[in-house]
């Protein structure tokens, strides 16, 4: 029997046809299809095409953001401890200090209060993500940041189709960053997108992403100006090479058209998990979305007593159901280790398991997962002598 994957992309003939066209065009690098994908993605977000910049991956987008916001030595950047490690690396690589805030163990997102507690005179930026695609306390956090004059970066890797009151996650702050890596919902192999509130910052991002060279097309110059030396260039910033390419972009445009269908299927699965698991004593399902919030349903997670979580993960694995936990708290990673505890993040990291959630799961896969989780909990919490794990702190989320 095959393993039920926790994440899995959906790619098929339509994507292959798009790639075939790129091959036939003879132009694989950044070119017309990248421009089309950027325009498509901008439309999807409801922003202008001049505000978005495609990049090689989301991590690179996070590194670029920190540079563009002027984060440097002596600065602090506040982010939840439950964050993707690349966000903290992007801060530390600038010589700045990541300052970790706590999260609500039910949503695994920080509240505005969690962020506010960590703001100080040295805070140069705030970076938040939307755990599992759930927008969290985003409106209040964006407002807090605006009040304090601190730019907000939304790591929107989980939130490609998430919205708050009709506004796309990633557009409520100053910078949004998306990932199209192989484990995301919209997949291009590797790839990412940046969106800037300020089009001028987007222009600087384009330059930095292309070795710091002022953008000019050799062909265009040669055509327009008979005297042109089209091989010469101007360097205005010491940039890296963070650009994407037309192969990835051609896949991206197809995946973007399929995205609503992907999210619809993911929502259906999440609702079935809710039905099958929320009435089980000893399990907690994700809290309902607040009014006006939509999720991309990137993760579906359950919480259980910490004393059974690891054994549950192992048991499910042995029975063909792969689970995981994202994202291990960064304040406990040795490179970032801080004195002091963040009880919400620590609790979430001990109690939470991310269950398989992707659009290729069949109904019978979903029933298998539900059955195995229920059976696992019953087996692991059955009274057996002196070591009876307690589930008293976990009444069913919906009695
Ligand atoms: C996957 C992920 C990233 C990294 O994306 P890459 O494109 O692989 O660099 C960043 N942040 C979050 C929240 C992610 O889930």
Q: Are residues 161 and 294 in the same domain?
A: no
pTM for the structure as a whole: 0.95
Average pLDDT over residues 263-285: 97
Number of domains present in the structure of the chain: 2
At 107, list the tokens: 């949503």
Q: How confident is the model at residue 163 (pLDDT cuts 50, 70, 90)?
A: very high
Q: In whole angstroms, what is the distance from residue 166 CA to residue 348 CA? A: 29
Q: Residue 376's domain is classified under what CATH number? A: 3.90.1150.10
Q: Report CA-CA distances (Å) from 75 to 70, 72, 242.
A: 9, 6, 24
331 upstream amide cis, omega within 30 of 0: no
Report whether residue 57 contacts ligand 1, using a CB cutoff of 6 Å.
yes
What domain range includes position 120?
Answer: 13-255
**Residue 12: which residues within 8 A CB-CB, separation 6 or more?**
none
> Is residue 393 in a domain?
no
| Better pLDDT: 54 or 229 | 54
Shared-domain flag, residues 75 and 222: yes
The answer to whether residue 184 is catalytic is yes
170 lines ligand 1 (CB under 6 A): no
Signed CA dihedral, 139, 145, 148, 149: sign only:
negative
Spatial CA neighbour of 292 closest among 140, 173, 164, 138: 164
Mean pLDDT for the stretch of residues 76-84: 98
How far is 348 from 328, CA to CA, in rounded Å? 9
Q: Which atom of ligand 1 is nearest to the CA of 62?
A: 10
Domain boundary among 204, 237, 255: 255
Evaluate whether residue 56 is within a structural domain: yes
Contact 58, 86 (CB under 8 A): yes
Residue 327 and residue 210 in one domain? no
Give the CATH number, domain containing residue 209: 3.40.640.10
For the cut 60, the answer to whether the pLDDT of residue 357 exceeds it is yes
17 and 40 in a common domain: yes
Cα-to-centroid distance, 148 and ligand 1 (Å): 27
Residue 330, ligand 1, Cβ within 6 A: no
Identify the domain boundary among 234, 255, 276. Answer: 255
- With respect to residue 338, please indicate whether it lies within any of the assigned structural domains: yes
- Centre of ligand 1 to C-alpha 179, Å, is 5
Band of pLDDT at residue 56, cut at 50, 70 and 90: very high
**Are 93 and 67 contacting, i.e. CB atoms less than 8 angstroms apart?**
no
Does the beta carbon of 53 sit less than 6 angstroms from any atom of ligand 1? no
Shared-domain flag, residues 267 and 245? no
- SS3 (DSSP) at 355: strand
pLDDT in tens, 120-140: 999 999 999 999 999 999 999
In a domain, 7, yes or no: no
Are 169 and 97 part of one and the same domain? yes
**Does residue 327 fall inside a structural domain?**
yes
For residues 275 and 358, state if they share a domain: yes
Beta strands in the chain (DSSP E): 52-55, 76-80, 97-101, 123-129, 152-155, 163-164, 167-168, 175-179, 192-196, 293-294, 300-303, 352-355
Instruction: Note whether residue 290 is domain-resident.
Output: yes
Mean pLDDT confidence for 225-241: 87
Domain boundary among the residues 255, 285, 305 is at 255
Residue 127 shares a structural domain with residue 216: yes
SS3 of residue 266 by DSSP:
helix
Answer yes or no: do 66 and 175 share one domain. yes
> What spacing in Å lies between the alpha carbon of 192 and ligand 1's midpoint?
9
The answer to whether 73 and 64 are in contact (CB under 8 A) is: no
Residue nearest (by alpha carbon) to ligand 1 atom 5: 58
* 30 lies in the same domain as 96: yes
- 370 and 230 together in one domain: no
Q: Which residues make beta-bridge pairs with 163? A: 168, 294
**Any domain includes 368:** yes
Alpha carbon of 335 to ligand 1 centroid (Å): 19
**232 Cα–ligand 1 center, Å:** 36
- pLDDT confidence of residue 1: 59
- Catalytic residue (choose from 35, 118, 124, 184): 184
Q: What are the pLDDT digits (tens) for 6-48?
A: 999 999 999 999 999 999 999 999 999 999 999 999 999 999 9
In a domain, 126, yes or no: yes
The CB of 157 under 6 Å from ligand 1? The reply is yes
Identify whether residues 297 and 335 lie together within a single domain: yes
Atom number, ligand 1, closest to the C-alpha of residue 129: 13
Find the mean pLDDT for residues 319-348: 94
What are the pLDDT digits (tens) for 316-330? 999 999 999 999 999
**pLDDT of residue 258 exceeding 80:** yes
**Residues β-bridged to residue 52:** 195
């Amino acid at each position: 029997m095959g393993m039920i994957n926790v994440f899995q992309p959906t790619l098929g003939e339509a994507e292959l046809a798009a790639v075939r066209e790129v091959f036939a065009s003879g132009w694989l690098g950044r070119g017309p299809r990248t421009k089309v994908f950027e325009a498509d993605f901008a439309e999807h977000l409801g922003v202008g095409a001049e505000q978005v910049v495609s990049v090689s991956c989301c991590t690179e987008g996070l590194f670029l953001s920190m540079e563009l916001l002027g984060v440097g030595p002596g600065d602090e950047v506040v982010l939840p401890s439950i964050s993707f490690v690349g966000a903290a690396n992007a801060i530390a690589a600038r010589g700045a200090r990541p300052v970790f805030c706590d999260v609500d163990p039910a949503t695994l997102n920080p509240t505005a209060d969690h962020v506010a507690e960590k703001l100080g005179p040295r805070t140069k930026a705030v970076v938040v993500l939307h755990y599992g695609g759930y927008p969290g306390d985003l409106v209040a956090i964006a407002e807090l940041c605006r009040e304090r004059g601190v730019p907000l970066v939304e790591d929107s890797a989980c939130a490609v189709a998430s919205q708050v009151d009709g506004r796309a996650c990633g557009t409520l702050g100053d910078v949004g960053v998306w990932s199209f890596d192989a484990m995301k919902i919209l997949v291009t192999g590797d790839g990412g997108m940046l969106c800037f509130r300020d089009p001028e910052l987007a222009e600087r991002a384009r330059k930095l992403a292309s070795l710091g060279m002022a953008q000019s097309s050799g062909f265009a110059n040669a055509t327009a100006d008979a005297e042109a030396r089209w091989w010469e260039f101007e360097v205005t910033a010491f940039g890296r090479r963070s650009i994407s390419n037309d192969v990835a972009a051609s896949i991206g445009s197809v995946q973007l058209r399929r995205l609503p269908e992907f999210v619809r299927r993911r929502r259906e699965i999440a609702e079935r998990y809710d039905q099958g698991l929320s009435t089980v004593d000893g399990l907690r399902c994700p809290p309902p979305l607040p009014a006006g919030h939509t999720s991309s349903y990137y993760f579906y997670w359950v919480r259980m007593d910490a004393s059974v979580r690891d054994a549950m993960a192992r048991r499910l694995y042995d029975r063909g159901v792969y689970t995981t936990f994202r994202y291990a708290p960064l304040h406990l990673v040795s490179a970032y280790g801080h004195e002091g505890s963040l009880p919400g993040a620590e609790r979430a990291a001990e109690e939470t398991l991310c269950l398989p959630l992707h659009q290729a799961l069949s109904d019978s896969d979903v029933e298998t997962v539900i059955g195995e989780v229920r059976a696992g909990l019953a087996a692991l919490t059955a009274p057996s002598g002196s070591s009876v794990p307690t589930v008293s702190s976990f009444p069913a989320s919906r009695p």
